[in-house]
Amino acid sequence: MSHHLTNQAWDIELRGMQKLVLLCLSHLSVQTTRECSPSIARLAYLCGLSTSGVRQQLATLVGLGLVEELRDGRLVHYRVNVGVARATDGEA
């Protein structure tokens, strides 16, 4: 559980459900690796969303570069990329 990542996630401007899923992933992540591996069903339960709603929000967060999906066979790990320096289009 990482309160540090959760605190950083609060400062990111997102729509409500996107922020809720990001906060949940941040909370569940190990601070040193920024990774966690909750099931979609667990995220849905914790966030009060449907499984399809969680999948939709995850896809958006992955598209924004805030979350990475890391696959190990059938197991999916999530890496939260809050507070990580990312290059923008205008930078080298």
User: What's the CATH code of the domain at 42?
Assistant: 1.10.10.10
Please give the backbone phi and psi of residue 72, each rounded to the nearest 5 degrees, phi first. Answer: -130, 85
What is the number of structural domains in the chain? 1
Q: Which long-range contacts (CB under 8 A, 24 or more apart) does 42-47 make?
A: 47/17, 47/20, 47/21
* pLDDT tens for each residue of 29-73: 999 999 999 999 999 999 999 999 999 999 999 999 999 999 999
Indicate the residue type of 27.
H
Domain assignment present for 87: no
* pLDDT tens for each residue of 8-36: 999 999 999 999 999 999 999 999 999 99
Residue 89: pLDDT over 50: no
**Enclosing domain of residue 12:** 3-80
Number of helical H runs and strand E runs in the chain: 4, 3
Signed CA dihedral, 78, 83, 86, 88: sign only: positive
Average pLDDT over the chain reads 90
Q: How confident is the model at residue 84 (pLDDT cuts 50, 70, 90)?
A: confident
Q: What pTM was computed for the model?
A: 0.87
Domain assignment present for 86: no
